[in-house]
């Protein structure tokens, strides 16, 4: 189900994953990870904004 069809659903991102490969750099103060968190098989490495 898409959040766009749920009335009054407020979504806020908490972290960006796979950010090292991004072409659109967003600066809004959220954590950015090189790949994925360690808990799901990534390196867990954060990268600077």
| Domain layout of the chain by residue ranges | 13-49
| Residue 1 pLDDT exceeds 60 | no
Give me the sign of the Cα torsion angle 46, 26, 36, 20. negative
- State pLDDT tens for residues 8-42: 877 777 888 888 878 888 788 888 889 888 999 98
Residues 1-13: what's their mean pLDDT? 71
Q: Please report which confidence band the pLDDT of residue 43 belongs to, taking 50, 70 and 90 as the band edges.
A: very high
**Nearest residue to 16 via CA among 3, 42, 7, 4:** 42
Judge whether 35 and 17 are in contact, CB under 8 Å.
yes
Backbone angles phi, psi at 46, to 5 degrees: -90, 150
């Amino acid at each position: 189900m898409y959040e766009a069809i749920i009335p009054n659903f407020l979504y806020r991102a908490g972290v960006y994953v796979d950010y090292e490969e991004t072409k659109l750099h967003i600066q809004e103060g959220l954590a950015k990870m090189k790949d994925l968190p360690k808990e799901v098989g990534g390196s867990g490495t954060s990268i600077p904004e």
